[in-house]
Every structure is written in structure tokens, then in C-alpha cells.
Copies of this chain bind each other. A is one copy, B any other.
Amino acid sequence: MPEDFVVTPWEVRGKVDYDRLVEQFGTQRIDAALLDRIRRHTGELHPLLKRGLYFSHRDLNWVLDEYEKGHPFTLYTGRGPSSAMHLGHMIPFFFTAWLQKHFRAKAWIEITDDEKFLFRDFDTLEDATRVGRDNILDVIAAGFDPKLTRIFLDTEYIHHLYPMAMNVAKRITFSTARAVFGFDASNNLGQIFYTALQSVPCFLESVEQGHNVPCLIPCGIDQDPHFRVTRDIAESLGFYKPALIHNKMMPGLKGLDSKMSSSAPDTAIFVTDTEQQARTKIRDAFTGGRATVEEQRRLGANPYICSVFAYYTYLFAPQDEHLAEVERTCKSGERLCGDCKAELADHVVAFLGNHQERRERAKDRVEEFVVRD
């Protein structure tokens, strides 16, 4: 069957069919029973969970089984540095910080400067490292608890990662990497090796504690292939298989199938955008609106194809009543796209202001979060 979409850790192409992806990858849907189970521990559900944007998992029920038996879990997520982080990049961090808060879980956060250099996003490793250091400020700004958080750059923490990476790498053949990641003979040696590095943080808490600790990885579903490999070898190393909880890719501003891209800045809101930049991008975003105001008043608009509505859904209408009101008034024609965009822009600008303040304050707090030795 020819694929009309491709999802790998380094490329998301085509219109992603998440139902088919769950089948292809062999993950589990997050169902109502699992949501109820999470709610019993967290009191309320994070909007990204409630709205099906965290939609898939591996072994999350087992993690909760263990938790309920009194065995806490650790969290692990990460960031491939890029020159500016957009809202989509922030989602795993917002969600991981929320999990940390509700489960009092230690979070390990890997900044993969090596990966981003090997996969040609940067000409020099130093550039990748420098940008990784900058991205750390945004990660801290997502609201982590310094007492429960360890952020590290691969190149700075390699002394702790490399021995375990050897143990992982010894257990994975090129044949496996080729099948899972689509590598061929033109891939470079670092790219081929890299997945071993991304496995290691699954086990860091177990190593630190001296006994096995379940690990839950909140991440975009595109990162799942790495951890399929990790899960295959974890038990042979004496560790639990890591569990995962997957989010969908937040769409770009040019339609639900559009991508956010650092190379096309008007496709995304970056956390470093100015108020004016954000307002202009939102003004120019793709909507489900009608050709004329008259028509829209009469027929209503379509929120289900609209980037602006998606932004409310993902991040900017955390209250369900508010989101329902946006949806209803959009469909009824009471709400026009211009007004709706202006409202979203206000929310986004408020978010950016807060984030940028927290980001500034993070500059003095790096040492509370970052581990090197």
C-alpha cells in the first residue's frame, strides 16, 4: 500500500491519519476508561488529554498500576534544538510539567544538540549546542519544579550517557535501524548510532535510584520509533520497557494539514515573537470562514478546518465552556473570523508576554535545572 503520509523522527510529510498511525505503530488509543483513571489522580484532566490531542500510548495502564502500588514513575522528554521554539515544540513541556506537578514525578529532559548537528540542521556542533542552551530557557519557562527536574545537553552530559549508550548500541543491528528509521547506506555513522543516545534517559532514574523505576515519555508520535527500539532491548538490560504517551502534531497557521516550520516563520507562532509579529501571523492565518461577512452571518463558518480554532483547542481556551462558546458562535455565524482572530491574538500576546518574562527569569535559574557532572 503506497503511504500518503510519512511520520519519522526527522520527517512528517502528507496528511497524517492518526487512526492509521496507531495501527501502523501498534500503539494503544487513550480511551475514556484510561482518562477516568488519570482523573482519579489528577483531579482534573489537562485540556490536551480531554480533547484527544494526547491520543495514544504504550503501557500507560501499567505505569498507573505501579503508581497505585506505591511505585512512582519518572518522566522523560526532550528537545532537538532549533533556532526558535514554536508553540508546537512547547506542548510536550507544558504537558510533562503538568504530569510532574500532579504525580510529583522526577523529569529528565534531554537536549539533543548532537542529533541536530548530525541530521544537518546545523553546520557546526557548537551552533547546535549554543541554540540548545537557549532552548533550555524556554523549557524552564514551561513551569518545571527545579527539585524534580534534570535538564542536560547530550554533549555536556555525555560522560553519563555514553556507557549506557554502548550497552544499547550493542543490542541494535543496522538491520533493525534500517527497518525502523528507513536508513540506507547514505546515512552517516552518527545518524545511525544516534538512537542509542535517545534511549539512555529512559534508564537514568533507575540507575540513579539503584532499582528499577518505570519511565513515562510524553512526546510527539513522530518520536515513537526511537522508543520502539528502546522497548525491544530494555529488558535485556535489566530495565522496564519505557511507557509512552503521544500527542498529535499541532497544525501550522496555514490550515490543519499545514506544518509549523522554522524556515517559514509565518506558519507558526514562535515563543520569541513580538506582539506585532504574533498579531500579523494570526491575522493572516487560514480559517474556516466564508467568502463574505453576509454569507458567514447567514451560514456560519467551519471550525473543523480552521487553524485559528485549532489554536484555541490546543492551548488558548483551556476552559471547556470557553472553547464550546467559540465553536458554537463560529458555527452559528455570530462570530466573524476577524473578531475571532483578534481574540486569539490577545490570548497569544498575553501568553507570549508571560512566557518571555519567565524566559528572562530562567536565565538566572539555569543552574537549578541543568546537570553536567
Contact between chains at B190 and A193 (CB < 8 Å): yes
Instruction: Indicate how many identical chains form the complex.
Output: 2
Minimum CB distance partner of A190 in chain B: B169
- A174 contacts B by Cβ under 8 Å: yes
**Within 8 Å CB of A185, what residues of B?**
173-175, 178
Minimum CB distance partner of A120 in chain B: B170
Q: Which residues in window 244-286 of A have CB below 8 A to B? A: none
Give 26 pairs: A residue, B residue, CB < 8 Å, sorted on A. Answer: A114-B162, A117-B170, A118-B166, A118-B169, A125-B163, A125-B166, A158-B159, A158-B162, A162-B162, A166-B190, A169-B188, A169-B190, A169-B193, A173-B187, A174-B183, A174-B184, A174-B185, A174-B186, A174-B187, A174-B189, A177-B189, A189-B195, A189-B196, A190-B196, A192-B192, A193-B193
Contact between chains at A189 and B193 (CB < 8 Å): yes
Q: State A189–B114 Cα separation when bound (angstroms).
A: 16
Q: Which residues in window 180-208 of A have CB below 8 A to B? A: 183-190, 192-193, 195-196
**Within 8 Å CB of A169, what residues of B?**
118, 188-190, 193
- A171 contacts B by Cβ under 8 Å: yes
Q: State A172–B125 Cα separation when bound (angstroms).
A: 16
**Within 8 Å CB of A168, what residues of B?**
189
User: Other CB < 8 Å A-B pairs besides A169-B188, A169-B189, A190-B196, 11 of them?
Assistant: A114-B162, A118-B169, A159-B159, A165-B190, A168-B189, A170-B188, A171-B188, A174-B183, A175-B185, A189-B193, A193-B193
Contact among B158, B170, B183, B187 with A190 in the assembled complex (CB-CB below 8 Å)? B170
Interface size class of A (residues with CB under 8 A): 35 or more
**Within 8 Å CB of A174, what residues of B?**
174, 183-189, 192
Q: Which residues in window 206-222 of A have CB below 8 A to B? A: none
- Nearest 7 pairs of A and B residues by beta carbon: A169-B190, A193-B193, A175-B185, A169-B189, A158-B162, A159-B159, A174-B185
Nearest CB in chain B: distance from A160 CB, A: 10
Residues A188 and B163 in contact in the complex (CB < 8 Å), given A158-B158, A193-B193: no
Minimum CB distance partner of A185 in chain B: B175
**Within 8 Å CB of A183, what residues of B?**
174
